[in-house]
Amino acid sequence: MSTEPFPRIQIARLEGRSQSLRLRQALFHSLHAALTSSESAIKQAIVADTGNSDADIALEYSLVLSELRTQYESLDLKTEVTIAHSLENPTGTTNVGIVYVIPEQRNLFYSILSPLCAALAAGNCVILELPPTLSQVSSTLRKLLPDALDADVFAISNSRPPDSFLSQCLVVSQLDDDRKNFSVAAGCLPSRPSALAVAVIDRTANISNAARSVALSRRLLQGQSHYAPDIVLVSEWVADEMLAHLVREVATPLVKGERTSPPANGPSKKPTPYSRHQALKEFDGKDGCKVVVSGEHGSIVEITSRDQGLLHHKIEGPVTVLHRVSSLDDAIDVSNGLGLPLDALYIFATPEEAIYVSRFVDTRISCMNHIPLELLIGPSAPVHPTAPTTATPRYASAMFRRPQPRSATASDLSKTILLEDSKASTRASIQDQLSSWSRAAARPLRPTGQGDGKALGFFDAAFLLAGGTVLSVAATSIFLTVRYLRRR
């Protein structure tokens, strides 16, 4: 099944079938109907694979439907027709053709559907690498997706195709170790799952809200989220208060009925609520580490050393790691030393301090006084030169299109020199026109509006004011003294 659909995919790409807006709309309707009618089977498959709580599974499922709706709503027939018939379209784009998706196993349902919906909305054919495994989610989607989507625009690959085929594809790789393997591909949208997320807690922050947000993010999905903060840099002025709030947060269940053991039929290799012990082992016995609390619903570790081996660490499991900083500048220095850029930066502070930190830390996204719940689900956002990281949708349809501008308006120079109806019919007149254009291009640039530096500065004015006051007092004193002496 891995190679048979590919000829159909390539023919559909050449014919441009996937670019039909009506076909894209029909595919979204079919996919939405398949997902909603199979809700129970999908959720059962997710719990069998991961052991996540019902709230976690409902969040992942609902987020997929939300992104599907967002991508569908972006399709507008009137706009498509207008663009298709416009002569002048300097920002025009077209589909990339074939998108090859390599999903990660974490949040597999969302990791597949998010890029799939974006690629379909952009008018592409999609091939999904999904080998047969013991995963229940994989098995469910291998049956559901081919039935819901047109075989001319969607196929499943059981194994990696040869480089000759990948050279025609835009590869979406959510695996860290695959980034260097696609130099032959027509393009690549790689994720960086090993990149760190950092939270900065300033002394101006609402400590209660900050602790609640951090604790929730580290406990959601059993602590397996890419975007949960791996290190919390907290001001030493409020560190003890922050720890007290965190201890209260991890002492209570996240939701009523939270699972505390893996499902009986779940694969043992999948992450379970007991993975916190594995995370704690990486800190046990190491200098500069202190386990503040270790409980059924989460653990807290404080790192007192600046050892890069301790700080530069991707956390797996419901473990919150804290480190004290002396100031915002100290937090900036530590953050920039963790590997650049950060995947996410969460700043809990007043607006002025939050803006200051976000300006000087190299990160792909900064969030002030909150951690987006949507961001915690799914893979690390793809690295794209122009498209920003957003909480939802994780993949924008613009990532799956390439520039194809159209121009129908000649420039003034072209009109003057090249067009047949130009009045410049002789070599001399052409030379005159070029000279005039060159002189216009060589005109001085407009002024910047900045002062010439001769204006009176703040300290200069203060000095003159103080000096004038002193001189006036001195002159008055001398005058009165002389007058007094003369009268004697």
Report the distance separating Cα 282 and Cα 277, nearest Å: 9
| 344: region left, alpha or beta (phi > 0 left; psi from -120 to 50 alpha) | beta
460 pLDDT band (50/70/90 cuts)? confident
Say if residue 141 is in the same domain as residue 104. Answer: yes
Residue range 359-383: mean pLDDT, rounded = 96
Q: E strands of 219-334, at which residues?
A: 231-235, 289-295, 298-303, 319-325
Report pLDDT for 264: 44
> What pLDDT score does 257 carry?
52
Nearest to 292 by CA among 358, 235, 244: 244
C-alpha radius of gyration, the chain, whole number: 31
- pLDDT tens by residue, 191-234: 999 999 999 999 999 999 999 999 999 999 989 999 999 999 99
- Residue-wise pLDDT tens digits, 74-130: 999 999 889 888 889 998 999 999 999 999 999 999 999 999 999 999 999 999 999
- Are residues 295 and 350 both part of a single domain? yes
Residues 66 and 120 in one domain: yes
- 224 in the same domain as 119: no
161 preceded by cis ω (within 30°)?
no
Tell me the CATH number at 71: 3.40.605.10
- Mean pLDDT, the chain, rounded, equals 87
Phi, psi of 392 (to 5 degrees): -160, 135
pTM score, two decimals? 0.86
pLDDT in tens, 129-152: 999 999 999 999 999 999 999 999
Region of residue 103 (phi > 0: left; psi between -120 and 50: alpha; otherwise: beta): beta
| 209 and 174 inside one domain | no
Q: CA 349, 350, 353, 359 torsion: positive or negative?
A: positive
CATH of the domain at 240: 3.40.309.10
CA distance 71 to 337: 37
Query: Is residue 143 a part of any domain in this protein?
Result: yes
Of 336, 361, 386, the residue at which a domain comes to its end is 361
For residues 184 and 234, state if they share a domain: no
Beta strands in 237-378 (DSSP E): 289-295, 298-303, 319-325, 344-348, 366-368
68 inside domain: yes
Question: 240-254, 329-343, 410-424: which has the minimum mean pLDDT?
Answer: 410-424
Q: Which domain holds residue 301?
A: 197-259+277-361
Q: Indicate if 174 and 213 belong to the same structural domain.
A: no
Peptide bond into 273 cis (omega under 30): no
Q: How far apart are CA 187 and CA 122, in angstroms?
A: 15
Please name the residue ranges forming H helices in 282-395: 308-311, 328-336, 351-360
User: In this structure, is residue 96 part of a structural domain?
Assistant: yes
Q: Are residues 298 and 237 in the same domain?
A: yes
Q: What is the pLDDT of residues 293-306, one digit of tens each?
A: 887 788 899 998 88
- The C-alpha atoms of residue 69 and residue 204 are separated, in whole angstroms, by 39
Task: Tell me whether residue 456 is in a domain.
Answer: no
In a domain, 469, yes or no: no
Q: Give me the pLDDT at residue 273, please.
A: 44
